[in-house]
A = this chain, B = another copy of it.
Amino acid sequence: MKYCSTCGHLVKQRIPEGDNRHRYVCVNCSTIHYQNPRIIAGTVPVWEGKILLCRRAIEPRYGYWTLPAGYMENSETTVEAAERETLEEALARVNIEGLYSIIDVPHINQVHMFYRATLKDGLFGAGEESLESCLFAVDEIPWDDISFPTVRKTLELFLEDLKSNSFDVHVRSIRHPMTKPRIKDDL
């Protein structure tokens, strides 16, 4: 951020009065521009005991398998965001069964939320951001080609919970391993 989105003048980083963090503040109109984490919402879509994954048609992680998920938009709920992303990426309509995982990813200012879901009718396909979608049995998950740590962690938890058929909400955080250079890939 270099310029004020309100008046177009330059911004500078400083700690506003009564605050204790550096913010972008406009040198002209004094507007404080706060920056906050974003929510990624998605589902673990299940159909006849199998899990629906999408193979990404976009970077980062082009070609890798992911649970359908994406940025929550203004004016929607987390459930609506999860349903919408599942429809957009996997062309699948789902019934939401319950919140499943909330994973903080503080080094990239994101919170990932996955809901358990079942396909309404067994139909799915490849949305614009997917190369393909596929149902995987629990022993078929392509572990070597999973897109992101939050997807891997959610799948690991889900497969473990499947054994007891008991699905509590899991809260986790995944921090960037500082020794690895590939920030994008470690999302």
Contact = CB atoms under 8 A, between A and B. Distances in A.
A169 B101 CA distance: 11
A99 B101 CA distance: 11
Contact of A173 (B18, B21, B71, B79): B79
Contacts of A151: none
B1 A36 contact: no
Nearest to A109: B74
Residue from A6, A33, A74 with most neighbouring chain B CB atoms (10 Å): A74
Contact of A4 (B5, B102, B128): B5
Question: Interface size class for chain A?
Answer: 35 or more
A77 to B, nearest CB: 4
Contact of A99 (B35, B77, B171): B171
A107 interface: yes
Work out how many copies of this chain go into the complex: 2
Contacts of A79: 104, 171, 173
Given A76-B106, A99-B169, A104-B79, A3 B2 contact: no
A78 B35 contact: no
Contacts of A107: 75
Interface of A: 1-11, 18, 21, 33-39, 71-80, 98-99, 102, 104, 106-107, 109, 111, 128, 168-169, 171, 173
